Amino acid sequence: MSLRVLVNGAGGRMGKEVVKAVCRAADMELVAAVDPACAGQDIGVAAGLGELGVVVDADLAQAIQRVQPERVVDFTMPSTVAANARTVLSAGVHLVIGTTGLLEQDLQKLDALAREQRVGVVHAPNFALGAVLMMRFAREAARFFPGVEIIELHHDKKRDAPSGTAIKTAEMIKEVWRKPEAGVVEELKLAGARGSDFAGVHIHSVRLPGLIAHQEVLFGGPGQTLTIRHDSMDRESFMPGVLLAIRKVADFQGLVYGLEHLLF
């Protein structure tokens, strides 16, 4: 029996890719698409697949009530994702979140609500399998190098900075990294020249047209450096991870943060 999937934010760049991936998956059925920006359109036409007979809804709660999905995938905006998640979980539906920008307190509230409703939430800052490996390798390397900085590069339409992937990477590094004692006192000629500071790990955000999603983690030690980098050149790179999350989210109750928990 096919999993009944609703895609929220279906008209966006990532949303359209999810629509295509779900439609091509033999074990899934796209039962609804939600996006106020293109409500009333056939989502198949919007995604370049031709007519699917699935008309885009403007209201998430109404769409859930009408089609009774088993899974909702959210790729919307940081300003709306928390409210969207509450709507989905309150309806007792499993949720996959690809939208970044959620704060720690948001994650805690969503975890509590999901447990109360006995449903699962998978929230991943990056669904590319290579990016998950990049973060895992960075965590291993952090045990051996005194210096580390993160440079994340994304397209110029990305709304949040630093990226969720960079923050997640810094969190993983922090678990094992021994921050060196303060050395040279820096004098910044321009505010922000050293990027943001996450527990001593500097994160630098680049936004340029032509980019998709890229990150490198630079380590430095006496007489050597190590660079671990991942590049997504196409949004299709995220789809195997999204489909994996759709399939496995029902294995959990509460919130799972990071795709690595589904892989390792």
Candidates 20, 94, 154, 168; catalytic one: 154
Candidates 109, 158, 174, 202; catalytic one: 158
Average pLDDT over residues 207-225: 97
Name the DSSP class of 184: S
Confidence of residue 174 (pLDDT cuts 50, 70, 90): very high
* pLDDT at res. 188: 86
101 compared with 107, residue with greater pLDDT: 107
β 254-257/120-123 pair status: parallel
pLDDT at 110 over 80: yes
Confidence of residue 100 (pLDDT cuts 50, 70, 90): confident
pLDDT at 116 over 80: yes
* pLDDT at res. 210: 96
Residue 42: give the domain boundaries: 3-123+236-263
Q: Rounded distance, CA 74 to CA 34, Å?
A: 10
7 and 96 co-located in one domain:
yes
187: domain CATH number is 3.30.360.10
Number of domains making up the chain: 2
60 and 137 co-located in one domain:
no
134 and 208 co-located in one domain:
yes
75 and 196 co-located in one domain:
no
135 and 119 co-located in one domain:
no
71 and 152 co-located in one domain:
no
Active site residue 94: no
* pLDDT at res. 230: 98
pLDDT digits (tens, 9 = 90+) for 183-211: 677 888 898 899 999 989 999 999 999 99
* pLDDT at res. 1: 81
Place of tokens 């820096």: 186
7 and 108 co-located in one domain:
yes
Q: Rounded distance, CA 47 to CA 16, Å?
A: 5
Active site residue 158: yes
Q: How many CB atoms lie within 10 A of CB 171?
A: 17
- What DSSP element (H or E) covers 142? none
18 and 51 co-located in one domain:
yes
163 and 219 co-located in one domain:
yes
10 and 99 co-located in one domain:
yes
255 and 200 co-located in one domain:
no
CA angle (98 as vertex; 94, 102 as ends), nearest 5: 95
0.85 cut: is pTM over it? yes
Lookup: tokens for 58:
């403007």
14: domain CATH number is 3.40.50.720
54 and 8 co-located in one domain:
yes
112: which residues sit within 8 A by CB, 6+ positions away? none
